Structure 1
């Protein structure tokens, strides 16, 4: 089965670009996420982290 898949994948022209594109998307996503975390304002982080503890906005169903 693996031999069939390898032979089939080799027959597709330009397929070698897809792993490179996937790696670039993965890397860029985490670089942007890291940049956002580093540059986020402390006040925003504190407000968001206190949302689960805030009982004023709690409504019962």
Structure 2
């Protein structure tokens, strides 16, 4: 039933192409953004990873 409804719409075949193009361009843009990122910034952000030994974790204000 739904297949017949979609076949009846004129110009429907362009929508999958448009969707794929948007999807592809988004991830291509994201890849370019990551590739051109400042390496010092990335290195600095990687030092903020979970489990920093220098900082003591507190729970409810008490040092554990």
What TM-score do the two structures reach when normalised by structure 2? 0.69
Give the aligned CA root-mean-square deviation in angstroms: 2.1
Q: How does 1:1-61 map to 2 (within 5 A)?
A: 4-53=1-50, 55=55
**Higher strand residue share:** 2
Q: Where does structure 1 differ by over 4 angstroms across 4 or more consecutive aligned residues? A: 58-61
Please identify the structure whose Cα radius of gyration is greater.
Answer: 2
Query: How many pairs are equivalent?
Result: 57
Of Structure 1 and Structure 2, the greater helix share is in 1
Unaligned runs of 5+ in 2: none
